[in-house]
Amino acid sequence: MTKILSGLHVALLTGFTDAGEYCAKRQENILGYVLRQNVTGLFVGGSSAEGALMSFAELKQQQVQCRDSAKATGKQLIAHVGQPSLKESIALAENAAALGYDGLSALPPHSYPFNQQEIFEYYRALSQATDLPLIVYEAPFRTGRPTPIDEMVKVLDLPNVTGLKFTSSDLFGLSCLQKARPDVAYFYGFDELLSSAYALGVDGGIGTTYNVLGNLYMAIHEAAQANDLMRMRELQMISQDYVRAIIQTGVMPGTKLTLEILGVDCGPSRAPFTLRGDNPRKIIEDAVNAPGFRDWIAK
């Protein structure tokens, strides 16, 4: 049985001007490249979009632009609406529903050290705001702590919660959740370990480096469906080499620099993000020219 929203979704980057303003033209350049890839859909307005650095008005504008660009492609659209303010999160969710998005997702509130009950109430209010399926998060690097299994199960049992984006290396915890709630769609969030999560039976992934290598990750997905372990391992190593490079340069700035090197004018990341290292361009150029990398870029 195919679960709701299952598959591979690009955690879409945002196009900014050199001065750091939202740039519809550069956003369209990113969309043009991403939509040529063999992926299931777009994940709009999340961490990879630098959404926490964007205004409410910019996030709404981005939702509209992505809907308009993707509507003829048949690709799914998931709006990330997780803001520190529950009021703004609900307003973004309502906007996405009105635009015809296929689903929603939200980080737990992350500006303060909210306790688990506060996070649960946040997700309960958001799940009731629209009829769209909602993907919640397990992201210890955001909350500062892993969510106990029984507490996460309570969140997964909320109305309209149909999926979990699991961004943690605790694969045992993932397996425990899958056993407790097998009907939930599980999406893995660490691109460099996607094949490991597929070995445990996840339903898809949501990732930053899919912006560049969505075709590669879909090939990992297909190898998983074919139970081809050797192929999964071979493809994952290409992903890992690239992730190793962008960790050195900064993940979002390095991914955008990759697209620039590939001919996509997408602009810089918004301050305070900056490229890291003594020679980030060389690091990324070496990654792009590594064996196997260019076999997977969008044509």
**Catalytic site residue 179?**
no
Among 39, 31, 48, which residue's Cα sits nearest to residue 6?
39
Please state, in angstroms and rounded to a whole number, the distance separating the CA atoms of residues 21 and 252: 16
Choosing from 165, 186, 210, 217, the catalytic residue is 165
Q: Does residue 252 contact residue 50 with C-beta atoms inside 8 Å?
A: yes
Looking at residue 283, its amino acid is: I
Q: Does residue 285 contact residue 293 with C-beta atoms inside 8 Å?
A: no
Choosing from 22, 33, 122, 137, the catalytic residue is 137
* φ/ψ of residue 44, rounded to 5: -105, 130
**Catalytic site residue 165?**
yes
Strands 41-44 and 76-80, bridge-based pairing? parallel
Please state, in angstroms and rounded to a whole number, the distance separating the CA atoms of residues 266 and 242: 19
Beta carbons within 10 angstroms of residue 108's beta carbon: 20
Q: Does residue 15 contact residue 26 with C-beta atoms inside 8 Å?
A: yes
Task: Please give the C-alpha separations between residue 135 and each of 153, 157, 253, in angstroms, as whole numbers.
Answer: 13, 12, 26
Cα 238 versus chain centre, distance: 19
Omega before 272 cis (within 30°)?
A: yes
**Torsion sign, CA atoms 248, 250, 253, 258:** positive
Q: What own/partner pairs with CB < 8 Å and gap ≥ 24 does 18-21 have? A: 18/267, 18/268, 20/268, 20/270, 20/271
Residue positions annotated with a catalytic role: 137, 165
